[in-house]
Structure 1
C-alpha cells in the first residue's frame, strides 16, 4: 500500500478570538491601558531614532479628546486620545511585527507583542498614521485598525512625502466600547495622575523625556511636573532580599497635592509600573508632615532584573517561582520604614504624650501593658485617643479575665488545700486586686462591650474601597492567629463572643496545621490507613489542613461525670464572602468534615509534647461556622442536610451522625446580637446602667 504525501496542516489564527481572550476587565485603570501602550510604543520609537539623545530630542504628546458637556462648568466626557511622537516611524520591518500576533519583537524589553490589541479591545476605532524612511525616501503609511478577521487593516494607504517631512507616528484612539465607557476617567486630574502613576519609573529617571499632556486647552509637561516635585535625593539604593535576590529602590517624596497615589511601593518592570502596594496603614500615616512644603507622600520605586525577568504575560504581576511575593514585599516595606524614620519622629512623640496622658488619668490600664516603651514604639501613628483607649481596654480586658481565672482555679481546688495554703492564695490574689482593681468587674463588662463594638467595626465595609476587612482581621478579634495555648496567655481570646462556655476550654490552636499538634498514638490499623487513603484521594483528609480554631479539653470543674470532652472546631469566613462554588476548596462543610476526619484516631499534644486529648470515633465534635448568610450558603448547607433553623431563624444546625458532630452556622449579626444580650445580663447583675457603648472622646475614669 503506497503512502500519499499530503501538505502539512497549518495552524490558523483567529484575530477576533485573540482579542476576545485578552483579559482586560472594564476598570478606570484598564480604560487607560491603550493609552499606556501607545505611549510605550512611542517611547521605543524615539529611543530607536535617537539612541544616545532620546531624552533631549524625543517628544511625545498626549491629547485628550472630549465631546460636548451637557452641564455648564462640568468636564466634557472623554471620547478618546491622540498620541503623537517624533520617533523612527512605523517602517516596513516594524509594521511586519505589528501584523504578527504575539510577536517576539522587543521580547528583550519584556514586550509581549499584544499591547496594541488593547486599542481595539477598549475603543471602537484605532487610526494610525506614520512617516518613515524607506531606502532614503520618506513614506507615509496610514490605516484604521479594526476588530475583524477579514479586514483588520481598513483604509490602508501608502504615499510618498517630501524629503523634509518629519518622521513619527500618530495613534488616534476614539469612541470607547460600551462596557468601558462608563468606567473611563473624566476629571483631567485623574487622567494626569494615572499617567504619572503608570510611567512613574520613567518620570523618576534623571533623563527627562518631554511628555506633554494636552487637555481642555491646557498643556502640562508631565516629566518636569513629576521630577521637579521630588523632595530629597533622587539616587536609588540596593536592597538585599535574600542570598539569591536583590532589588533597587528609589525613595521618592512628593507634595501631596501632586502625588498620583497615597504612600505606596510601586513595583516596576520594563520601564513601567506593574503593581502598586499601599503602605499608609503599615507606616500609620496617610501623609508625612513637612512645615515648608506641606504634607508629603512617600513612593518607593522598586525595580531590577528580578522584576524584569518575572513579569507576567499581561504585565499585571510577577511570577517569581522560588520566592514568595509577600516575602519580597515585607523586605521592601521594612526598607521604606527605615527611610521614613526621621519623618515619623514627631508623630511618635505625640503618640507617647497621648499614652502618658491616658495612663496618668486611668492607672487601671497600666497593669495591661508590660512594656510601656515598647508599646508606645509600636502604636500606629494615625491612632486618635479613642482608638488608643479601645486597644488598651482590650488588653486590660484580657488581663482581668486571666485574674478571674486564677480565682476560679482557687475555688476548684479548695477541698485539696490546707487552711494555711488557701489563706496564702487568697492573700496573694487580694494583693493583686488592690484598690484600683476593686472596680474591675464593672470595667470588665464595659470592655466586653468595646470588644463587641470592635467586631462591628471590623465587619463594616470601607466605603472608600467598597471592600470588607479580610477574614484574618475579623479572626483576630476572636483569637490571635497562628498561636496555641502554649504561646498565648490562657485566656488571651474572646471566644465568649460565640459561646461563654468556650472560655473554659484549656487548650486552643488558632490557624495551625493539624500535623503540628496531632499525631497517631500508635501505628494505624490497615483499615484506618485504607480509609485515609480513600479520603485523601477525594480531598477529604489532610494533615496540612489548618482549622481556624480547634479547641480541646475542659477543666474538671465544668465536665459532666462519665462524659467525654467535646472537641470544638470553628471556621470563619470573610464578611465579604457570600458566594460559594461548592467545590471542596470552597465548601465550609467539606472543610470542617475534612478537619474532623484528619483528627480521628489521633492524639493532640501541646507544644512541649504534653498529651492533651485523644480523639476517636466516640469523641463528640462541636462545629461552628461563622459567616455572612447568603442564598448560596443556605443551599450548600441544605445539600449536606444542615437545614434546621436556629431560634433566631437565620442560623442553621444539624447533627452529623456519621461523625458524631453537632454543626451550627451562626451569622455574624447573630454572634453580635447574642454576645450583646449576654453582656447586658452582666450589666443588670452589676446594677450598672447607661455605660458607654464605645470609649468616649474624654478618657473614662478608672
Structure 2
C-alpha cells in the first residue's frame, strides 16, 4: 500500500499540442492540386457552414472567392466569404481545438485549418453569428506560433443589420513548397478548382460559388452545369463484393469538363459528399463516343458514394487510406456498373466496333488468330482497340500456347523411347501434326500479309516514278525505290549494320529472302581484296548457296572459290533516254565482270573469297523496255513471256544478262505470294486481273490485283 504522503509527488497534467511541430510534419505539396488543398479546405468549411444554416436549401447560399496578385507568391491575397452560420460559441470552440470531432458526422477530421498555417503567412478571420442574446461579430488572426495561435483582433460586438457568415483572408505564401507549386495563372487556378469540386457542381448539392480572379468572374455550378449534356444517370444502390453498398451518379459532359484532369472520362470517389480522389477511367469505360447523335467529344463523369469510402479517408481528406490495388478494384467494379446500367447502348456500339477492329488486326497479323474472336477479345483489356493493344494483351497467351505445344511434342517424342506404346498413340500423333500445321498456317498467313503490303508499296513507287518522268524529285524517288528493295551503301555481311537485315530481296529472287552475302551500291574497290574501280553495282550477291543465311557464330566456307554470282541493276521505271555510251546495258555489265572474274572478294571479317575463272554470272537489269532501251535490245532474244529480253554471255564469261520489266518482277512476286497462300491451304478466292501499263506491242499484260492476296 502506498503511504498517503507519497501522493504529493504526483502532479496532474494534460497533454499539450506542439502546433509548430505538427505543422512541420504535415505532407508538403508536390503539384498544383495539393498546393490548393488549404484553399479547398476553407471552401469546404464554408459549404458546411451553409448546410448548417440552410439545411436542404443549401443552393440558396453563396460563397465568394476573390483572388489578387495570383502570380506573386509574396503578395497574393485570397478572400473566402460565405453566407453560412458563422463561428458561434460551439463552432469557435471547435476551431480552437486541434483534432476536434465537431464535424465528424460529415467526415471532418478537424485538421483542415492546420494546412492554412502551413501555406499562408497571414490569416485573418471575421465572422458574424447568432447566439441566444443576439447577433454578434468576432474577428481574430490565426498565426503559427508555439502558443496562442488564435489572437482576437476585435472584441465581440453586436452586429445588428449584418448577415451571418464568415470571411477569411489569406495573404502571402509561407513556404517554398507551396510557392513553387501554387498555380500562377488564372486558367490553371480555375481548372484545378473546378476539377476538385466538380462532383459538388455536377450533383448540384452545393451553394453558388463566385470566383473573382483579378476581376474576371466565374460562377459555379453554372460554369460546370453548362458543360453537362442531358440528365444525370443513376445506378441506384448496388453491392460490390468486399466494399459494401455503393451508388453512382453519372453525367455526360462536354470535353471541357475534363480540362486539367488526366484523361477524358473520370470517376470521382467521394467521402462524406466531398471529392477525395478523381481517377481516369478511359481504359475501363472503353467507349469513345458517348452520343447516339452527331455530337462529338463528350466525356463521362461519375460520382461514387458509399460508407466504405466515408470511413477510409485520411485526416486532410486529400486521399483514401487504401492501397492502389484496392482503389483499382473499386474503380473496375464501379465502371462495370456504369457500362451495364448507365451506358448500355453506347457500350454495345463500342463492342461491335471493337470487334471489327480486332478482326482487321487479325487479318493483318494472322498469328494472333489462334483462337475464336470472342475468346481472344475476352483476353485483352476492354479498352483495347488498336493493333498494339490487341498484340500486347494476346502475346502472353500466344507464348503459353506455343510452350504447351512444345511440351506436348516433347512428351510425344519421349513416348517413342518407351517399351509399350499407348493404344491411342496414332491419335496423339495426328493431333500433334494438326497442331503443328495450324501454327505454321498462321505464321505463313502473316508472312503473306506482310509481303502483300510490301508489294503494294512497290507498285505505288513504280507508278509514281513513271508518272513523274523527268521531274526534280526523280533522283530521290529512284533512290527510294532502290532502298526499299535493299538499303543502299551497305554490306550484308557486316554484323554491326542493322539496316542490312531490312531488305526485300525476295522480290528479286526468293532464295535471297534472308541472305547476308551481298553488297548494295558499294564501290568494287571496297569489296575486292585488291584492284577494283569506283564502279558501284546496284546489287552484288556473291553466293546463292548462302541464300538462307547463317546463324550467329557461323561463317561462310571460303575454301572453295565462288562458282555462281548475281548482279542486279535497277533502272528508273519509265526511263526512255539511254543515249550515252555508259547506258549500254551489256557494256556496263561486262565492266563489272572484268573486275570480278578471277579476283578475290574480301568479306567484312577480312577473309578472302576467290571468284572462280569459270564462275557463272546471273546478271539482271530491271527496267521498262521503252524508248532507247527498246531499240538497244531489239536484237536480243525475248524471254518466255515475251516481255523481257535475254542474252548469253560469251567468250571468257559464263552466264547470261536478262532484262526484266518492272511489272514482270512485281507480277512474279505476287504469284509467289499467292502460291504460298494456296500451299498453306489459306487461299479463299481466285485472283482478279487488272491491266498493267503497256510495255510492248500487243495486248496489255494481265497482272494480279494486290487486294486479292
- Which of 18, 22, 25 is 2:22 aligned to? 18
Correspondence for 2:194: 196
* Partner Cα separation in structure 2 for residue 349 and residue 214 of structure 1: 47
Distance in 2, matches of 1:426 and 1:32, equals 70
Deviation at 1:39, TM superposition (A): 0.9
1:212/1:222 contact within 8 Å kept: yes
**Cα offset for 1:388?**
3.0
**Taking structure 1 as reference, are residues 250 and 400 closer, same or farther at Cα in structure 2, changes over 3 Å only?**
same
- Does the 8 Å CA contact 1:256/1:287 hold for their aligned counterparts? no
- Residue of structure 1 in register with 2:110 after alignment: 113
Matched, 1:172 2:169: yes
> Which residue in the other structure is 1:629 paired with?
none
Distance 1:686 1:328, change over 3 A: farther
2:152 and 2:54 map into 1 onto residues whose CA distance is 31
Q: Give the Cα–Cα distance (whole angstroms) in 2 for the partners of residues 41 and 363 of structure 1.
A: 60
- Please say if 1:352 is aligned against 2:352: no
Contact 2:87 2:127 in 1 (8 A): yes
- Are 1:61 and 2:64 matched, yes or no? yes
Q: 1:251-262 alignment to 2 at 5 Å?
A: 251-259=250-258, 261=261, 262=264
1:250 corresponding residue in structure 2: 249
The Cα of 1:331 is off from its aligned counterpart by 2.9
* 2:305 corresponds to: 303
Structure 1 residues 365 and 134: alpha-carbon distance in aligned structure 2, compared to 1, 3 A threshold:
closer
Matched residue, 1:413 = 415
What is the Cα deviation at residue 436 of structure 1? 7.4
In the TM superposition, 1:517-536 aligns within 5 A as none
After TM superposition, the structure 1 = structure 2 runs for residues 41-52 of structure 1, keeping only pairs within 5 Å, are 41-52=45-56
Q: Residue 53 of structure 1: SS of its match in structure 2? A: helix
Any gaps of 5 or more consecutive residues in structure 1?
70-75, 448-679, 688-698
Partners of 1:264 and 1:279 within 8 A in 2: yes
2:373 counterpart residue number: 372
Cα distance in structure 2, aligned partners of 1:113 and 1:358: 56
Indicate if the aligned counterparts of 1:255 and 1:293 stay in contact, CA closer than 8 A. no
Q: Deviations over 1:468-489 (max 9, x none)?
A: xxxxxxxxxxxxxxxxxxxxxx
Structure 2 matches for 1:25-174, cutoff 5 A? 25-56=29-60, 58-67=61-70, 79-133=76-130, 138-154=135-151, 156-158=153-155, 160=157, 163-174=160-171
| Shift of residue 146, structure 1, vs aligned partner | 0.9
User: What are the superposed Cα offsets for residues 251-304 of structure 1, whole Å, 9 maximum, x if unpaired?
Assistant: 222211123534232221222112333322223357746654422222221113
Alignment of 1:271 with 2:270, yes or no, is no
**Deviation, structure 1 residue 93:** 3.3
Shift of 1:102: 1.5
Contact kept? 1:86, 1:168, Cα under 8 Å: yes
Question: Equivalents in 2 of 1:278, 1:41: separation in Å?
Answer: 27
Tell me if the contact between 1:347 and 1:381 (Cα under 8 Å) persists in the aligned partners. Answer: no
Taking a change above 3 Å as real, the CA distance of residues 421 and 441 of structure 1, as seen in their structure-2 partners, is: farther
For 2:591, the equivalent position in structure 1 comes to none
Matches within 5 A, 1:430-445: 430-434=433-437, 437=440, 440=443
Aligned twin of 2:520: none
Name 2:339's counterpart in structure 1. Answer: 337
Contact 2:138 2:157 in 1 (8 A): no
Give the superposition deviation at 1:86.
1.8
CA drift of 1:116 comes to 0.8
Q: What secondary structure is seen at the aligned counterpart in 1 of 2:238?
A: strand
Indicate if the aligned counterparts of 1:348 and 1:377 stay in contact, CA closer than 8 A. Answer: no
| C-alpha contact 1:414 1:422 (8 A) present in aligned 2 | no
- 1:223 aligns to what? 221
Distance 1:64 1:13, change over 3 A: same
CA–CA distance in structure 1, aligned partners of residues 364 and 56 of structure 2 = 68
- CA offset at residue 34 of structure 1? 1.1
Question: Aligned in 2, Cα 1:432/1:108: closer, same or farther, shift over 3 Å?
Answer: closer
Query: In 2, Cα distance between the equivalents of 1:363 and 1:686?
Result: 34
- Count of aligned pairs: 448
Taking the aligned partners of 1:272 and 1:112, their CA distance within structure 2 comes to 13
SS at match of 1:213: strand
- Mean Cα displacement is larger for which, 326-335 or 82-91? 326-335
Task: Give the TM-score taking structure 2 as reference length.
Answer: 0.55
Does the CA contact (< 8 Å) of 1:348 and 1:381 recur in 2?
A: no
Asked if the contact 1:55/1:209 (under 8 Å) is kept, the reply is yes
Cα distance between partner residues in 2 of 1:331 and 1:123: 40
Residue 375 of structure 1: how far off its partner (Å): 2.5
Hey, what's the Cα distance between the residues in 1 that align with 2:396 and 2:326? 34
Q: In structure 2, how many angstroms separate the alpha carbons of the residues matched to 1:359 and 1:200?
A: 42
Other structure's SS at 1:182 match = helix
Deviation at 1:147, TM superposition (A): 0.5
Check 1:397–1:289 CA distance in 2 against 1; reply closer, same or farther (3 A cut): farther
C-alpha displacement at 1:317, in angstroms? Answer: 4.5
Is 267-276 or 372-381 further displaced after alignment?
372-381
Q: Give the whole-Å Cα distance in 2 for the aligned partners of 1:685 and 1:407.
A: 28
What RMSD in Å do the two structures reach over aligned CA positions?
A: 4.2
The residue number in structure 2 matching 1:238 is 237
* CA deviation vs aligned residue, 1:594-632 (integer Å, no higher than 9, x gap): xxxxxxxxxxxxxxxxxxxxxxxxxxxxxxxxxxxxxxx
- Mark the CA change 1:200 to 1:102 in structure 2 (over 3 Å): closer, same or farther: same
CA contact (8 A) 1:59 1:86 kept: yes
- Larger Rg, first or second structure (1 or 2): 2
Contact 1:103 1:113 in 2 (8 A): yes
Q: 1:355 to 1:331 in 2, by over 3 A?
A: closer
- CA offset at residue 427 of structure 1? 5.4
Query: Which blocks of at least 5 consecutive residues in structure 2 are unaligned?
Result: 451-548, 557-705
Alpha-carbon distance, 1:33 to partner:
1.3
| CA shift in 2, pair 1:146/1:385, >3 Å | same
CA distances 1:485-524 after superposition (whole Å, capped 9, x unpaired): xxxxxxxxxxxxxxxxxxxxxxxxxxxxxxxxxxxxxxxx
Query: Higher mean Cα deviation, 213-222 or 233-242?
Result: 233-242
Deviation per residue, 1:553-582 (Å, 9 max, x gap): xxxxxxxxxxxxxxxxxxxxxxxxxxxxxx
The corresponding residue for 1:186 is 184
Whether the aligned pair in 1 keeps the contact of 2:32 and 2:192 (CA below 8 Å) is: no
Flag the 1:412–1:344 CA change in 2: closer, same or farther, 3 A.
same
In 1, Cα distance between equivalents of 2:75 and 2:249: 34
